[in-house]
Every structure is written in structure tokens, then in C-alpha cells.
Amino acid sequence: MLLIVCPYCGKRPEIEFTYGGQAHLVRPAKPSELDDQTWTDFLYMRTNTKGIYAERWRHARGCGRFFNAVRDTTTDHFIATYKTGEARPMLRASAAVTTPSGVASPAVAPSTGAQSAAATPGSTTGGPR
């Protein structure tokens, strides 16, 4: 069972949480003006990343609040959790998984304060992977 750090309550066991899927997906402002493929991409297409992945969790049996996490899906190691609305922590390029089987990532540390256009909430691409 995973131990997950809720940004509001601290470290709690996984059974207190529900999973919310890929993070930083933003509903388009005017869906009726989109073409079908763009709307489909928003509704259904997911990066399903093997490696460093930003995702939503909800502390359903605790404070009840949603928050975001960055986790390595090849090891299930949580690298960071942060409040909804905050930018995704930037990770050094060395965190990138180089092969499809996912060579275990080297140590990755969130760099402080670094932001880019791709990492700000509102980007549907979810930042560097």
C-alpha cells in the first residue's frame, strides 16, 4: 500500500485516497467551437506515461480535497505532491525515461520556483515528461 503525502494533512495510507487520473487537463472554454478531434483528445486521450507522471488524487476519507502529485509510474515512487492550482514542479531533464521499458529514473528533485509555459496549470500537455 502506498503512503501518500496529502498537502493539507500529511502522510496517510493509500486507502484514504481516490485516484483522479492525469493532472493539468483543462476543460476547453468553448467546447462547441472545437472540432471533433480536439474534443476527443480532451475527453479520452491520455499520455499514459511510463515514467514521471503528474496526476490528481483526492483525500476522500480525510480532508476531502483534490491535490496533484508527481509520481514515477515505473516505480510508484512519489516525487512530490502539491496543491491544486500550483504549478507542476519542474524536474531536471535527467528524469526522462529513455527506453520504453523504463530504466529506473535517477534521483530527481523538484527545482525551486522554476516554471515554464508548458508547466503552468492550463497547459493540456502536462509539462515535460
Partner 1 sequence: MALIRRGLSGHLGWQPQWRKATLKASYDAVIVGGGGHGLGTAYYLAKEHGLTNIAVLEKGWVGGGNTGRNTTIIRSNYLFNESAALYDHSVKLWESLSQVLNYNVMFSPRGVMMLAHTVHDIQVFKRHVHANRCNGVDNEWLEPAQAKEFCPLLNIEDNIRYPVLGAALQRRGGTARHDAVAWGYARAADSLGVDIIENCEVTAIERDASGAVAALETSRGRIGTRKIGVSAAGNTSVVLALAGVKLPLESYPLQALVSEPVKPIFPCVVMSNTIHAYVSQSDKGELVIGAGTDAYTSYTQRGALHINTHTLDAICELFPNFRRMRMLRNWGGIVDVTPDRSPIIAKTPVKGLYVNCGWGTGGFKATPGAAHVFAWTIAHDEPHRINAPFTIERFRDGFLIDEAAAAAVAH
Residues that bind partner 1 (CB under 8 A): 1-2, 14-15, 17-19, 21, 36-37, 40-41, 43-48, 50, 53, 55, 71, 73-76, 99-102
DSSP 111-126: BTT---GGGSBTBSS-
The total of other beta-carbon atoms located within 10 Å of residue 104's CB is 10
- For partner 1, which is the closer residue by CB, 2 or 26? 2
50/92 with CB nearer partner 1: 50
The minimum distance between CB 41 and partner 1, in angstroms, equals 7
- Give CA–CA dist 58/126, Å, rounded: 19
DSSP class per residue in 16-71: G-EEEEESS----S-GGGS-HHHHHHHHT-----SSEEEEEEE-TTTT--EEEEEE
Shortest distance (Å) from residue 83 CB to partner 1? 19
Using the minimum distance from each CB to partner 1, give the nearer residue, 93 or 112. 93
Question: What minimum distance in Å lies between the beta carbon of 116 and partner 1?
Answer: 21
Q: Which is nearer to partner 1, 32 or 112 (CB)?
A: 32
**Shortest distance (Å) from residue 12 CB to partner 1:** 14
